[in-house]
Chain A
């Protein structure tokens, strides 16, 4: 979904930080993308390369840290692994599982010089 917009969102945060830090260029961008976020890492990498052209982050490497899905099952009163958003609990099959991890789409850090 909308990886191009997300790549633009990443670039905005990177450019803001690079400007504030007086960076001449950005060498690496580290993202955290949860497995429940419905973001495709390959598509995001592709879009990142496109949107960073002629920017301070041109040519920067993109590292995507994969965050596994987890949820709180009301029935089990426990944190359970989740393979998909709105999925069911792998232990009891209940649909009352609140996602607690794996929905993130964050810029963690960048390497600049």
Chain B
């Protein structure tokens, strides 16, 4: 695959801006729709990105969402300079959450985000350093898993 076929978009995610939360994921979804990726694949990318985008807004005071789109795969990188995750294995467990009550009232904070990112993506990497920040990298192959 040639590099010229790769596309890269970057979104800044503002801290605490719940009105705009999801704009990056929405923009990436629209872009993928224009390229003609299967709907099931776009859905997994959109949901995985949204979970990571929400985390950056809720837990990390904002960050950056980048999508690198190739003909056969998309890589989503979500990074922040927030508090970091002390115990990544614990954070990956379903139900583990440090989200405050106001987040729960909005319908989030069930501790389902990281497990869902793992479920949606084909590969997920977390690099996190306490007091420095977190970077999540998700790889998605453009293969419709449902119709297989």
Bound pair (A, B)? no
